Structure 1
Amino acid sequence: MKSCRGATRLMSESQERNLLFSEQASLKLHLAMCAPCRNFGRQLHALRRISKSYAGGGPEKTGE
């Protein structure tokens, strides 16, 4: 099983490249048993979504 450090590294790398099948399997196994790493994954996803929104000019404005 991956360590938390290895799992978070893979989650970060998955934002830039496709993970190998063995990396995906190892990460999924770790995430099935590790709540803090699942939380990190949710936070990483939210940060990426917020960053994309900011880079695109922010959320849509209504009423203007």
Structure 2
Amino acid sequence: MKSCREATRLMSESQERKLPLREQASLKLHLALCAPCRNFSKQMNILRRISKSYAEGGPEKAEE
């Protein structure tokens, strides 16, 4: 099983590139067993959505 450091690195890299099947499977296994890394993954997704919204003009633009 991957270490938490390796898992967070893969989560970060997955934002920039498609992970190979082996890395995807390894990360999914780690996330299934590691609550802190699942939490980190959720937080990364929230930050990504907020950043994307901000880059697109913020929530005010989305409501128009």
1:58 paired with 2:58, answer yes
Give the TM-score taking structure 1 as reference length.
0.92
> Partner of 1:20 in structure 2?
20
Alpha-carbon distance, 1:24 to partner: 0.3
Deviations 1:8-53 (A, max 9, x none): 0000000000000000000000000000000000000000000000
CA RMSD of aligned residues (A): 1.1
Listed as ranges, the gaps of 5+ residues in structure 2 are none
Runs of 5+ unmatched residues, structure 1 = none
Structure exhibiting the larger radius of gyration computed from Cα positions: 1
How many positions carry a matched residue from both structures? 62
Q: With structure 2 as the length reference, what TM-score do the two structures score?
A: 0.92
Identity score, percent? 79
How far apart in 2 are the matches of 1:24 and 1:51? Answer: 24
More helix by share: 2
Q: Pairwise mapping of residues 1-64 of structure 1 onto structure 2 (< 5 A)?
A: 1-60=1-60
